[in-house]
């Protein structure tokens, strides 16, 4: 099947082109091109935009804006984003990270989407269709509402101190698909956890919040006794997937172990 590539200078032009039958937006291509190579005939046209803002990284004080075409490699080497380097490096190997984009990762299906899990923990906002949408709402609606939309940027604040934590567990190291991915933003005050935002990947069809674990952490010390209840409830309300990487049962069993390691590490 012949594939066509259409390149536009602006997002608005690319968005108009996406209304044609069989058109799909091309970011880094790490997922979409593979689908084409594997015989997916549901699309025949790649559409992309080259607006400079899509590839820009802006850091102003504690506020960060990443263009949707910013690659994982760019994030991993940016001096102001050192706290995010582990999440960016969790996405494939060097060749993949040179191509994989922020916007593409937001659409990545389980067991991928490691960086999207980090963005969920950070409470990012996603710029799509000219408006900002909380990343949690975006992920919940991405197939139903945003499948033919173009994400232009994500925005979040850098957590204070060393508040950001990230862990990816995979069977094939260091570049394998995820068994579970966990990200958290914790703020501690007077020796106890004052606020917690925890995101987990591969425990549903998209990254989700571990709200029961968040509640269990508040007011507790970050030690073995303090996190025990959070470890017990971290999988509450999840629906882990079974795939070639791991079974739903296995993911549910190992999640508390890795969650504890991330919190205490």
Q: What is the mean pLDDT of residues 41-54?
A: 93
pLDDT in tens, 133-157: 999 999 999 888 787 889 999 999 9
| Residue matched to tokens 């091109």 | 33
Q: How many helices (H) and strands (E) does the chain have?
A: 11, 12
Euclidean distance between CA atoms 250 and 253, whole angstroms: 5
**CATH code, residues 52-157:** 3.30.465.10
User: 30, 99 in Cβ contact below 8 A?
Assistant: yes
Q: What is the mean pLDDT of residues 59-75?
A: 97
Q: What is the pLDDT of residue 240?
A: 95
User: H-helix or E-strand containing 110?
Assistant: none
Euclidean distance between CA atoms 128 and 125, whole angstroms: 10
CA distances from 173 to 89, 177, 179, 225 (A): 12, 9, 11, 31
Euclidean distance between CA atoms 6 and 136, whole angstroms: 31
Q: Which pTM does this prediction carry? A: 0.94
Euclidean distance between CA atoms 70 and 100, whole angstroms: 8
Mean pLDDT of the chain: 94
Q: What is the mean pLDDT of residues 71-99?
A: 95
Q: What is the mean pLDDT of residues 198-227?
A: 97
Name the E strands within 108-261: 125-128, 131-134, 151-157, 164-170, 178-189, 192-201, 208-209
Q: What is the DSSP letter of 81?
A: G
Both tokens assigned to 239? 């629906």
Q: What is the pLDDT of residue 114?
A: 96
Asked whether the predicted pLDDT for residue 179 surpasses 80, the reply is yes
pLDDT band at 1; cut points 50, 70, 90: low
Both tokens assigned to 187? 């703020």
Partnered with residue 75 across adjacent β-strands are: none
Q: What share of the chain is helix, strand, coil (3-state, %, to 5)?
A: 35, 25, 40
pLDDT band at 7; cut points 50, 70, 90: very high
Between helix 224-233 and helix 248-264 the angle, nearest 10°, is 160
164-264 folds as Enolase-like; domain 1 (3.30.390)
Distance of CA 16 to the CA centre of its chain: 26
Distance of CA 51 to the CA centre of its chain: 23
Which backbone phi and psi does 257 adopt, to 5 degrees? -65, -50
22-36, 80-94, 105-119: lowest mean pLDDT where? 22-36
Q: What is the pLDDT of residue 172?
A: 85
User: 184, 214 in Cβ contact below 8 A?
Assistant: no
Both tokens assigned to 213? 């674990």
Percent of the chain with pLDDT over 90: 81
pLDDT in tens, 224-263: 999 999 999 999 999 999 999 999 999 999 999 999 999 9
Q: What is the pLDDT of residue 208?
A: 97
Euclidean distance between CA atoms 255 and 265, whole angstroms: 15
Sheet holding 208-209, edge to edge: 164-170, 178-189, 192-201, 208-209
User: 27, 104 in Cβ contact below 8 A?
Assistant: yes
Q: What is the pLDDT of residue 143?
A: 80
Q: What is the mean pLDDT of residues 89-117?
A: 94
Asked whether the predicted pLDDT for residue 88 surpasses 90, the reply is yes
Q: What is the DSSP letter of 71?
A: B
Euclidean distance between CA atoms 66 and 56, whole angstroms: 6
């Amino acid at each position: 099947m012949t594939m066509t590539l259409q390149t536009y200078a602006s997002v608005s032009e690319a968005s108009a082109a996406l209304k044609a039958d069989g058109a799909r937006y091309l970011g880094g291509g790490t997922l979409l091109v593979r689908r084409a190579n594997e015989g997916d005939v549901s699309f025949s046209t790649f559409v992309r935009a080259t607006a400079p803002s899509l590839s820009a990284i802006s850091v102003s004080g504690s506020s960060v804006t990443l263009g949707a075409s910013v690659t994982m490699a760019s994030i991993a080497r940016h001096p102001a984003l050192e706290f995010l380097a582990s999440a960016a490096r969790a996405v494939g190997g060097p060749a993949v990270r040179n191509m994989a984009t922020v916007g593409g990762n937001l659409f990545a299906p389980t067991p991928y989407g490691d960086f999207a899990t980090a963005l969920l923990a950070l409470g990012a906002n996603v710029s799509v269709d000219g408006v900002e949408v909380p990343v949690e709402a975006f992920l919940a609606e991405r197939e139903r509402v945003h499948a033919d939309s173009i994400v232009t940027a994500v925005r979040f604040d850098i957590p204070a101190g060393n508040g950001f934590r990230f862990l990816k567990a995979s069977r094939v190291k260091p570049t394998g698909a995820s068994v579970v991915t966990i990200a958290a933003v914790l703020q501690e005050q007077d020796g106890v956890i004052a606020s917690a935002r925890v995101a987990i990947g591969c425990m549903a069809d998209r990254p989700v919040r571990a709200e029961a674990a968040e509640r269990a952490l508040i007011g507790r010390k970050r030690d073995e006794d303090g996190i025990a209840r959070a470890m017990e409830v971290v999988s509450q309300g999840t629906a882990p997937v079974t795939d070639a990487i791991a079974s739903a049962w296995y993911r549910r069993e190992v999640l508390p172990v890795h969650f504890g390691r991330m919190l205490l590490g």
